[in-house]
Structure formats: C-alpha cells, structure tokens
Amino acid sequence: MPELKVASPGETRIGWIGTGVMGHSMLGHLLDAGYVCSVFTRTASKAQDLVQRGAAARSGPGDVARNSDVVFSIVGYPHDVESIYLGDDGIVANAAPGSVLVDMTTSKPELATRIASASLAKGCAAIDAPVSGGDRGAREGVLSIMVGGETEPVRAVMPLLEVMGKTIVHQGGPGTGQHTKMVNQTLIASGMIGVCEALLYAYRSGLDVERVLQSVSGGAAGSWSLTHLAPRIVAGDYQPGFYVEHFLKDMGIALDEAARLELCLPGLALAKQLYQALAAQGHAKSGTQALVLALAKINNMQIGHDD
C-alpha cells in the first residue's frame, strides 16, 4: 500500500456519502475547515446547501470514490453500508490505491472487518469510526468517535476526525470501533429507561420537574441523556437527534453480538422491547427521548405534546 499522507486542507480531497441528521453538520465542518469536498446522498435536496457552500455533487458511491483521497460515509443500516462499499459501483471497487475509507455508520463489526479485508486487497485502508453525541454533538463538532483500524491510516485521517469530534479514541484493529459503539448503545438503552421512569415519577408525585432536573442532573444520577434529552421531554420536544428506528437497529446488532459472545443482557433486551412498542405507536422517526410516551401510556398518563 502506498505511503499515506496526513490529511491537510488544500491537498486532501474528501468524499462524503450520507447527509442525514448528523452527516450534514459533519461535512459542513470539513467544508468550513477548507477541505475540497464532494458529496453523494440519495435525496439530493438534503445536500443542496452543502453544494452551494462548495461541495461538488457526485452521482453515486463509485463517483465519490474516484474523486477522493479519503471517503467518509454515515448512512442508515448495515445493508446500506454493504451496498455502498461492496456493490459493483461501490467505494472499494472504485477507490484508488492509497485511499482511506472511513465508515461512521453504526453497523456490524463483522461487516467492518470484511470491508477492511476487501479494501486491503485493493491497496486501500478501511476504518470503522462510529460516533456518539447526536444532532447537537454533530452541530457543535464535539462528537465522540470510536475508531477501529490499522494505526497508519488512523493517523492519516486524525486531522479530519478532530474537525468533527472532541473525544477520539483508537480502539484497535478493524471492527473494534463498532464493538465499542455497541458498548455505548447498551449504556444508553438502559439509561433512557431510567431517565423516562424518573420523569414519570416526578410528574405523578406533583413535583416541579424543571426544579427536579436542577437537583439531580449534577449529582450521582447525572448522565448525557439526563442533561440533554430530559429537558426536551419536559418541553414536549420529540424531534430526532437520533431516530428510534436507528436505535432499534443498533440494539438488534448489540443483542446479536451478545448472543454470539454468550452474554445475557436483560436490560438491553427490555429496552429493545419498549422501543419496539414505541415504534408500533407511530414513533419510529421520533427521537429516542420519545420512549417516555410508551411508558406514559402504560401508566395511563399524558405528558408534554405527543406529536
């Protein structure tokens, strides 16, 4: 594989695939940092303002790869990742030797290792780098990025990751970034149940919920979800910083991996069941904080605005 140069504005060509809730802001930061960028997204209108800001529109994953030194992707599901990387007109088939391919989708560890092997055979390097921090973390450029891949390509793209994130940790070889994201999602899953149940208790007991949050957010019960998502619940804001349907996908991957590792994770299994009920109630495209609505329904309560 050719020697990899550390990415720098004006020299490194960036390709980007996926401009959803998080990807849009992430590419925006790279444009602001002065990188030459191109973009492909299935819904062209979602990238229109990015093109107006200087990103070149491409016709598909292969077109992105042919015109990039580093390709980033953040799409919805593992089957999307497999299609854009390993399809006939995919990234791997069209990337030049020496390219670095960085998938930031939360996906299957096994798929990440397959992409890495296929990339190596083409003289490229593939990195799995899923993120945490939601829409706010993406907008503010403070995401946590969990990186799996070989040392040299990780070093080469680190300046790019630092534009988008605050906490960037190289976990090990291919697939380890995805395994770390499963740890992250397992923590969030049970934690969101606690946040929602605690708020329902506060409502039912007649407390001033905003005052309650002032007391508990900075103590031993504090968490990212409590600080950032509980106020959205109080405001009746269930807009997605992270979609329920994508969280269900993540929990499914984590439970499949747990089964393969012969782990019993009842808290994660319960959270997935509750989120499946929430999705069945019409909230698949709501934010994960909407879990409170499913729990409120069980308790015959109505809080905020169920929109």
* Residues that are catalytic: 181
Closest CA to 246 of 128, 86, 80, 55: 80
Report the distance separating Cα 58 and Cα 299, nearest Å.
50
Give start and end residues of each alpha helix (H) in the chain.
Answer: 23-32, 48-52, 61-66, 78-86, 91-94, 109-121, 134-140, 151-164, 176-204, 209-216, 224-228, 230-234, 244-260, 266-278, 291-298
Closest CA to 265 of 186, 178, 196: 186
Report the distance separating Cα 230 and Cα 213, nearest Å.
8
Would you state the structure tokens that stand for residue 261, as one six-digit string? 């590792």
In degrees and rounded to multiples of 5, residue 269 shows phi and psi of -65, -40
Report the distance separating Cα 150 and Cα 244, nearest Å.
32
The DSSP symbol for 281 reads I
Report the distance separating Cα 245 and Cα 255, nearest Å.
15
Report the distance separating Cα 61 and Cα 251, nearest Å.
27
Report the distance separating Cα 203 and Cα 222, nearest Å.
19
Would you state the structure tokens that stand for residue 111, as one six-digit string? 């798929």
Report the distance separating Cα 286 and Cα 273, nearest Å.
16
Report the distance separating Cα 206 and Cα 229, nearest Å.
21
